Structure 1
């Protein structure tokens, strides 16, 4: 179903709310579903460039859904190590040479900044994606959700309408049906969409192999 078809089905429940409001509700419901059922994106890769520490994140990247970042030990080696995440709010001090990443204004920031000796390294970003934003200006758009489960958006929208109308018994019934279908979706999604394989962390492998000799 596209957005207009979802609106048409939801409008069988009496209401006088503007389509623009209802599309905003559909969009919010879709984003909530993605939080309940994380959707892993195809791993994103790029190469480091000398003098550049900031790299734009993919458009569909959920900032709260970045799972892992790995970098080649040497350009072209095909061997990777995991980079530690550093929060901008952290009180931990990092040295200029210490390897970490953070995010700033939808950019992935790599430290230390690549130079002529370290450029060309391949970086892999593993993340959960966010759905494309829905707008009342394009009701022909199809939501980023498997079509078999578009009914979730219909039920969620009906619940929002019922709550706005203070029809709490109706809202409760729509919520009950929504929760049941969402549980089915969680089970189906986890079964059909396993996580993408990650690059091997050579640093972790080395630490496992190391032994201390007294």
Structure 2
């Protein structure tokens, strides 16, 4: 029985890694068409291998956490979005709607089909405060792409788990910026949000 479960989890890990690889490729293609903002974070080199490995870890961990097989496809969409958002924010400083709003629409549509309003409520509860932060900072402290990514994470994780995860992400981002002496310089915030969502998905009891 354990061998069967291990084999199934391994196949899921491979599938998630493949999905992430395609998402990274798509993000690279999209970034070629984007002109970064002059006042945005400096372009960097995304850790492609690490992103694919992290996606595999998510694919392996979810069945072990009891996630039903019918939900794994939806989580694969989220995992692809996370990989694409990390890549695009580091590479070109922008989170295209195709990697945030599109998967959010898929998640909300799936929830609506089963008459489940919790994802929509969670996205609103968590997304609205971040939207106010983006409005107050005029998109510098918190970008609108980050707000959409936050709403996506909240829709999947639930508002309580996502608030904890995003609080940790904010603290880590502020700490790293302080250590680098760039407290007022723009940073790519999506990697911190993506990492917090990934940890919440894979770590039991988060």
Instruction: Mark the structure with the bigger radius of gyration.
Output: 1
TM-score, normalization: structure 1?
0.29
Q: Which has the higher strand share?
A: 1
Q: Which has the higher helix share?
A: 2
- Quick one: higher RCO (CA 8 Å, sep 6+), 1 or 2? 1
